[in-house]
Structure 1
Amino acid sequence: MIEPHPTGGYILEELAVGMVAEKRVTVTEGRIGQFAEASDDFNPVHMDEAFASKTAYRGRIAHGLLSASFGSAVVGTILPGAGAIYLSQSLAFHRPVRIGDVVTARVTVSAIDEASARVTLRCEGLVGDDLVMDGEAVVRVPRRRRPAKA
């Protein structure tokens, strides 16, 4: 398991296949409300317990993309970190995430294309030992750091 780079981000030459980073985030009522505001997604399965209790989920569930955004936090702040730019992301959702669940967002470097400075990342979201989502991201990574300002 790696830690954030002291400069804020890993450059291409510092990455290796197999590097792994994680972040754990608790899903709260507040996070769901903030995500609904930011995304304008007020689906009652996320917002209304009375409605959600009558669905196949038997209660409210978090937005899938809220949970997926925790993986984006890993990519932007730990691995590769500052300077990484998303080019694509695939996602598959396997189980619902509920208020109070702690989601572990895990990102693993699975391939590096040095010619294009693109890195393929395996992305997983877990609640306990249960895989709730997975997919693959492709990001562009800087080749060198910006010089410090004088």
Structure 2
Amino acid sequence: MVELVSAHPSGGYILEELHVGMAAEKIVDVTEDRIRLFAEASDDFNPVHLDEAYAAKTAYRGRIAHGLLSAAFGSAVVGTMLPGAGSIYVSQTLAFHYPVRIGDQVRIQITVVGVDAESARVELNCEGFVEGRLIMDGIAVVRVPRRRKPANR
């Protein structure tokens, strides 16, 4: 069962607060500006993302957003909501199923599917949807802060 949570009041959940089934969502609008800024930040100026005349001649029949732009929306959820501040990506698998276009709204859902107390890592199912259709998914492994042990005095 999925339990939708909001961002922790402190900015991030610690390991001891996380459990399987916790989930967080974010909806992000894909805009011309986001695509342009992502191209500049990533140095990926592939014309399928930026040039309508070029993209119209491809199998996509028009411009599409960078796949990793949608994945970055997932990173935003991991870094700011679940687990939140202090979490560090260890690994991420991704599969892209459908293209995302300017004007689409991407709904990202991140769900805790495993907690490893020994390594202070959580496994997260990462999914992106446009109009209910799964556009990408994968598994992230993220290191999260533990509750601090009291100092010996």
- Answer whether TM exceeds 0.5 for this pair: yes
Structure 1: any 5+ residue segments left out of the alignment?
A: 146-150
Deviations 1:30-81 (A, max 9, x none): 0000000000000000000000000000000000000110000000000000
Q: How many aligned residue pairs are there?
A: 145
1:108 corresponds to 2:111: yes
Q: Tell me which of 126, 129, 133 is aligned to 1:123.
A: 126
2:9, 2:43 → 1: CA distance? Answer: 36
CA distance in 1, matches of 2:89, 2:145: 12
2:59 equivalent among 41, 56, 59: 56
Q: Which amino acid aligns with 1:6?
A: P
Aligned match of 2:38:
35
* 1:1-150 map, 5 Å: 1-144=4-147
Once the two structures are superposed, residues 64-106 of structure 1 have per-residue CA deviations (whole angstroms, 9 ceiling, x without a partner) of 0001100000000000000000000000000000000000011
Match of 2:151 in 1: none
Give the % identical residues.
73
d(CA) in 2 for partners of 1:57, 1:49: 11
CA distance in 1, matches of 2:46, 2:72: 18
Which letter does structure 2 place at the counterpart of 1:118?
R
**Matches of 2:104 and 2:71, distance apart in 1:** 14
The 2-side partners of 1:7 and 1:88 are apart by 25
Structure 2, unaligned stretches of length 5 or more? 149-153
Over the aligned positions, Cα root-mean-square deviation in angstroms equals: 0.6
Q: What is the TM-score of this pair, normalised by structure 2?
A: 0.94
- Give the letter for the 1:109 counterpart: V
- Alpha-carbon shift at residue 128 of structure 1 (Å): 1.2
The CA deviation at 1:144 is 2.1
Aligned equivalents of 1:55, 1:5: Cα separation in 2: 44
Question: Tell me, what secondary structure is at the counterpart of 1:79?
Answer: coil
